[in-house]
Structure 1
Amino acid sequence: MKKAVFLDRDGVINEVLTDRVKFVNKPHELYFLPGVPEAIKKLNSFFDYIFVVTNQGGVGLGFMKESQLQKIHDHMIKELKKDGATIHEATYCPHKPKAGCDCRKPNSKLIVDLGKKYDIDLSQSYMVGDTDTDIIAGKNAGTKGVFLGKSDPLADAVFPDLITAVDWIIEDLTAK
């Protein structure tokens, strides 16, 4: 079976709620956080797949259409590819917050579905996020959880950003 890293998008890969951008509703509003392309490129060397799993309630709330969200994800994947970093698939929950769907994190459907589709050993995989809902979704799916921020009691590890988390993820993976 294969191994994967599941990455939340907003606050993990790209800026959100900063001086430059409030929410990413158009491709040109996507700004990578420092070190993200390098971090993903490094993960590509150790993992079979890197995925983006993201709640995008802005679709359900009418702030953007699903086709616009797909353009943002296509742009993100293309720009990362220029730096030698590969995202294999970006999946999302388009529903409104509190819609009660199975796919919105903290539910684990997005992760579990990718696991089945790509024959992934979720116990050998990692969910990286900046909210407790990301960590809970990963734990519910059977992955380890890496929290980006100050602290999360459910996480297996906590780091300030993706580039500093990568070495721990690789070390944890290869220690098995």
Structure 2
Amino acid sequence: MANLCLNTKMNKAVFLDRDGIINIERKDYVKTIKEFILIDRILDVIKIINSKGYLVIIITNQSAINRKIITENNLREIHNHFLKLAKNKNAKVDGIYFCPHMPSENCECRKPKPGMILKAAKEFQIDLKKSIMFGDSNTDVKAANHAGCTGILVNKSDSIKNIIEKYLK
């Protein structure tokens, strides 16, 4: 009996943390569209990622939902606003995954656990060995490593554009 080889093409992805990478982080949470201020030139960075053939997936802890600071609907409005801004600049974001849980809830999706990355990998047929997570926290790097992809810590003084160009081939 012959073996059938299914040639399933796996995608490569860049996972980006939201607060501190996509938008300016607020200590009291981003609660409204008005408070959602993009990091300078981040849409240009996303376009560079797109041009290198990577999917762009946002991975974000949003415990403000379960803390009753914002609703899931508020968060969706903020994310839809961001997606519209990206689309207007021809920057494609393929997905946004968020965890609404507080650290004390010990869920499988909250970073540093890899749940959101693994879910995205399954839904988008992502080859995690060829994928990278960029974040501004050790929890981002740990989530990436737990999922089997490379995690890169972005310091506040670093240019995300320079870092992306260094790591994406």
TM-score using structure 2 length = 0.90
Quick check: 1:9 aligned with 2:18?
Answer: yes
Quick check: 1:55 aligned with 2:55?
Answer: no
Query: Which runs of at least 4 in structure 1 moved beyond 6 Å after TM superposition?
Result: none
Quick check: 1:92 aligned with 2:98?
Answer: yes
The residue correspondences of 1:41-120 to structure 2 (distance < 5 A) are 41-120=47-126
Question: Which structure would you say has the larger Rg?
Answer: 2
Displacement after TM superposition at 1:87 (Å): 0.7
Q: In the aligned structure 2, how far is the partner of 1:145 from the partner of 1:31?
A: 24
Displacement after TM superposition at 1:102 (Å): 0.4
Q: Is the 1:5–1:47 contact (alpha carbons within 8 Å) kept by the matching residues of 2?
A: no
1:84-134 C-alpha deviation (Å, 9 max, x unpaired): 111111110001122100000000010011101111100000001000000
Give the aligned residue type for 2:24. E
1:3-30 C-alpha deviation (Å, 9 max, x unpaired): 0000000000100138xxx521111211
Q: Is the 1:12–1:161 contact (alpha carbons within 8 Å) kept by the matching residues of 2?
A: no
Q: Is the 1:35–1:162 contact (alpha carbons within 8 Å) kept by the matching residues of 2?
A: no
Structure 2: gaps of 5 or more residues: 1-9
Displacement after TM superposition at 1:43 (Å): 0.2
Q: Partner of 2:117: helix, strand, or coil?
A: helix
Displacement after TM superposition at 1:161 (Å): 3.3
Give the aligned residue type for 2:43. P
Displacement after TM superposition at 1:47 (Å): 2.8
Q: Partner of 1:42: helix, strand, or coil?
A: helix
Deviates more, 1:6-15 or 1:23-32: 23-32
Aligned to 1:169: 167
Q: In the aligned structure 2, how far is the partner of 1:163 from the partner of 1:94?
A: 29
TM-score using structure 1 length = 0.86
Q: In the aligned structure 1, how far is the partner of 2:52 from the partner of 2:16?
A: 15
What RMSD over aligned residues (CA atoms) do the two structures have, in Å?
1.4
